[in-house]
Amino acid sequence: MQVVRLASETDFDGWRRAARLLRGADVSPEDALWTVDGGGDLFGQTTEPATAAASFTVPREFVEVAEQVVLHSSGERFALLYRLLWRLANEPNLMHIASDPDVARARDMAGAVSKAIHKMKAFVRFRQVKGADEDTYVAWFEPAHRVAEAAAPFFARRYANMNWSILTPDRCAHWDKVLLTFTPGADPADAPSEDALEDYWRTYYASTFNPARLKVGAMQREMPKRYWRNLPEAGLIPELVKAAEDRTSAMVRQMPSEPNRRVVRQAQRLSRDASFEEGAPTSLEEVVAGVDFCRRCDLWRDATQGVAGEGPAKARLMIVGEQPGDQEDLAGQPFVGPAGKVLDQALAEAGVPRAELYVTNAVKHFRHELRGKRRIHQTPKTSEVTACRWWLDAERRIVRPRVIVALGATAALAVCGKPTPIGKARGHAFQLADQAQGVVTYHPSFLLRVPDAQEKARAYAAFVEDLKFAWNLAA
């Protein structure tokens, strides 16, 4: 019996060297015993060690699968891989036989490891370390397999400007903004239990939870309960699921009321046939009726409905976003989805009453592409923004705001009539052609996508300041 002692549970290089020597010495899988003791000796044997030179090649598919299988938590992984390696000598096409039990088992294990890496990327939650000299973040995570080292480079790229550590029972990863290092496994008590960002995570999750698209089984498959204890937002899930049916019914009940038939007929004719200069709506009721019949670009074909602006007919401040999102398209109202929740929170912190604002979008139909059953947002084309200015200009003439806030590049293009860099333009006002003052700032959806926690906090604070500045300007 040949006993192979590997340096660690994920010692792929050690396994590869030993496997090559064993096969070269014609040691059968039944005569090889694989174990891990962390020592420096590769072989510990009851017979003479394998020392024969080995010269052979294996298919690339085998190496790729083996690198994944070694990370699996199963105790049979090293023996399974050596059995496959042994068989490849006489069955060179073995890895292409999907029905073979050994091949099927190895591929299942490799798939489970890939899934564990994906789950780690999705469900790691960093918490700030109190009292550290520099902002430092620590996360505790319990992956289903030994994937900490495989997933760590992703976090080094995503959170390159943070000092962080990810602690797992098997291996810990550490990043100091320069080097990625690893240490032995840790204990949950070594990680912070909570921090000030917990409330932000909960707000973010609650704002992106769409009750109309809830599928509990699919959600639990994607977010298994074994990960919930590490997720600050997990405590919200039972209540969100419980309230989903009532929230969906409320969305249906809040559909915009039908305008009178005369207004609808007139709006339908004008939205199809009127030139850019003529026939513009003279009331917000006509705008609401008209955008649903608008055929000035092709976005109406795939959208559920047109979404006009919302607010008082005379408002000091108008906020212009990009376009309706998935939830706005279903509800027929602007800014009721995840970006709308962020906008509401920022307005409240800035002391701006949303009820006194007119809120609309540069484009009135949802531009998206289908991926399976999901509708993925796409940025409107310049031609679509230009076509929809007929409606935005009508809203501006009717509402007559003193200040117009453009959220993001698409809104800035629609409001200013030309491309406007957000970073350079934000922080001050400029005169628009209709004598209103223009202010440019970030779109709330951008804030939701910022991956770095510190940068997200800075951008959100700047967003709140821009809204406060615009409101004071409109006073």
Q: Has residue 193 got a pLDDT over 90?
A: no
* Between 162 and 468, residue with greater pLDDT: 468
Model pLDDT for residues 99-109, shown as the tens digit of each residue: 999 999 999 99
> How far is it, in rounded angstroms, from Cα 391 to Cα 291?
8
Average pLDDT over residues 257-272: 59
Average pLDDT over residues 387-405: 93
Q: Scanning the structure block, which residue is given the tokens 């608008």? A: 294
Report the SS3 class of residue 80: helix
Write out the two tokens for 196: 């000030």
Q: Scanning the structure block, which residue is given the tokens 């070594």? A: 190
Q: Has residue 471 got a pLDDT over 50?
A: yes
Query: To the nearest whole percent, how much of the chain has pLDDT over 70?
Result: 77
Q: Which of 101-105, 138-142, 268-272, 385-389 has the lowest mean pLDDT?
A: 268-272
> How far is it, in rounded angstroms, from Cα 289 to Cα 307?
10
Q: What pTM was computed for the model?
A: 0.49
Q: Has residue 272 got a pLDDT over 90?
A: no
Task: Specify the DSSP element, H or E, that contains 261.
Answer: helix 261-273
List residues bridging with 429 in a β-sheet.
439
List residues bridging with 437 in a β-sheet.
403, 431
Q: Given this model, what pLDDT does residue 50 score?
A: 47
Start-to-end CA span in the chain (Å): 87
Average pLDDT over residues 305-325: 94
Average pLDDT over residues 163-180: 93
> How far is it, in rounded angstroms, from Cα 370 to Cα 318?
32
Model pLDDT for residues 126-148, shown as the tens digit of each residue: 888 876 666 788 888 999 999 99
Q: Given this model, what pLDDT does residue 475 score?
A: 86
Q: Which of 34-43, 116-125, 353-362 has the lowest mean pLDDT?
A: 34-43
Q: Given this model, what pLDDT does residue 241 score?
A: 66
Report the SS3 class of residue 472: helix
Distances (CA, A) of 104 to 86, 88, 107, 146, 147: 16, 15, 5, 20, 21
Q: Given this model, what pLDDT does residue 207 score?
A: 60
> How far is it, in rounded angstroms, from Cα 445 to Cα 339?
5
Q: Given this model, what pLDDT does residue 196 score?
A: 52
Q: Has residue 439 got a pLDDT over 90?
A: yes
Average pLDDT over residues 195-202: 58
Query: To the nearest whole percent, how much of the chain has pLDDT over 90?
Result: 54
Instruction: Report whether 212 contacts 468 (CB < 8 A).
Output: no
How many residues would you count in the chain?
A: 475
291-305 burial by CB neighbour count: b if 16+ within 10 A, else e? Answer: bbbbebbebbeebbb
Q: Given this model, what pLDDT does residue 399 score?
A: 95
Per-residue pLDDT band at 373 (split at 50, 70, 90):
confident
Q: Given this model, what pLDDT does residue 258 score?
A: 57
Q: Has residue 60 got a pLDDT over 90?
A: yes
Average pLDDT over residues 330-344: 91
* Between 199 and 156, residue with greater pLDDT: 156
Q: Given this model, what pLDDT does residue 106 score?
A: 96
Q: Given this model, what pLDDT does residue 175 score?
A: 94
Write out the two tokens for 423: 């970073």
Report the SS3 class of residue 361: strand
Q: Name, of 254-263, 370-379, 423-432, 465-474, the range with top average pLDDT.
A: 465-474
Instruction: Report whether 380 contacts 362 (CB < 8 A).
Output: yes
Model pLDDT for residues 16-54, shown as the tens digit of each residue: 999 999 998 999 999 999 999 765 555 554 444 445 545
Angle at 39 (CA atoms; ends 38, 41), nearest 5 degrees: 135
Could you tell me where the beta strands, DSSP code E, fall in 155-311? Answer: 163-167, 171-175, 180-184
Per-residue pLDDT band at 416 (split at 50, 70, 90):
very high
* Between 198 and 316, residue with greater pLDDT: 316
